[in-house]
Amino acid sequence: MVFTVTRAFDALAGGALYGLVGTAFVLSARFGTGWNAAIASYASWAAIVAIFIARSSGLPFLLTLPLGMAAGAALAVMTEAAILPLRRVADARMVVVLAGVAAWIALDALGAIATGTRGIAFPNDTYPASVIGSDDLLLRVIAVLDIASLAAVTFAVHHGLVATPLGLALRAHGFDPLAAALGGVHPLRIILMVAAGSGAIAGLAGVLAAGSGATVTVALGVGLFWKG
């Protein structure tokens, strides 16, 4: 019984990671530049950066987590900024989608160089390997963090979209970018803000996935992205 409950909770934690990446993808698709496959790479690179920081500095997992998120956000902003000029060409929507795929391939190639063929992992003394509970119910700390993170991100995104001036601007831009721009919404600012948010959320998922102590390669983000 203990084994069954623990495995079920771990399955929910895995689903939470997919939910985070799905949220990042929907934000980009609905309010940013459209479908962006490079989100997979943001998750992988956030985990890679967090692991390298942990290895070089010995920082604990909870301190490398926001740094990995920041790396995901920065990478997303740089990618979107590079793609933005393509929005002016004919059939811009499809061109932007293809540019996102190209960015994904390029970032994954660089990630493969960074991790090598064997991959990298957090040092044993930096990630949360402990469990909580009793003999009747054992829960991994990292699984609790996964589920709590999805709950926090869901609340923050929902509240931000429905109860803040920024959320109103995002919804207006997502509904009709031209009308929103005529109404005073700055499209470039909105696109880059959405990119930063989606990159940070995807990065959060990537670092949490690496926080289980598993070896990380660029395949990490691919798995999270397609299931998400």
- C-alpha 54, offset from chain centre: 19
C-alpha to C-alpha distance for 95 and 103, rounded to whole angstroms: 12
Instruction: Report pLDDT for 135.
Output: 58
Q: Which of 103, 106, 92 is nearest to 36 (CA)?
A: 103
Beta-carbon-side half-sphere exposure of residue 36 (alpha carbons within 13 Å): 36
Task: Report whether 46 contacts 157 (CB < 8 A).
Answer: no
pLDDT in tens, 133-174: 665 667 788 888 999 999 999 999 999 999 999 989 999 888
- Low pLDDT (below 70) residues in the chain: 1-3, 89-90, 129, 133-137
Task: Report whether 203 contacts 42 (CB < 8 A).
Answer: yes
Instruction: Report pLDDT for 100.
Output: 87
pLDDT in tens, 211-228: 887 889 888 988 999 888
Q: What is the model's pTM?
A: 0.91
Residue with the two structure tokens 């390029």: 106
If phi > 0 it is left, if psi is from -120 to 50 it is alpha, else beta; for residue 48 that is: alpha
Instruction: Report pLDDT for 133.
Output: 65
Q: Residue 107: what are its φ and ψ, rounded to 5°?
A: -65, -35
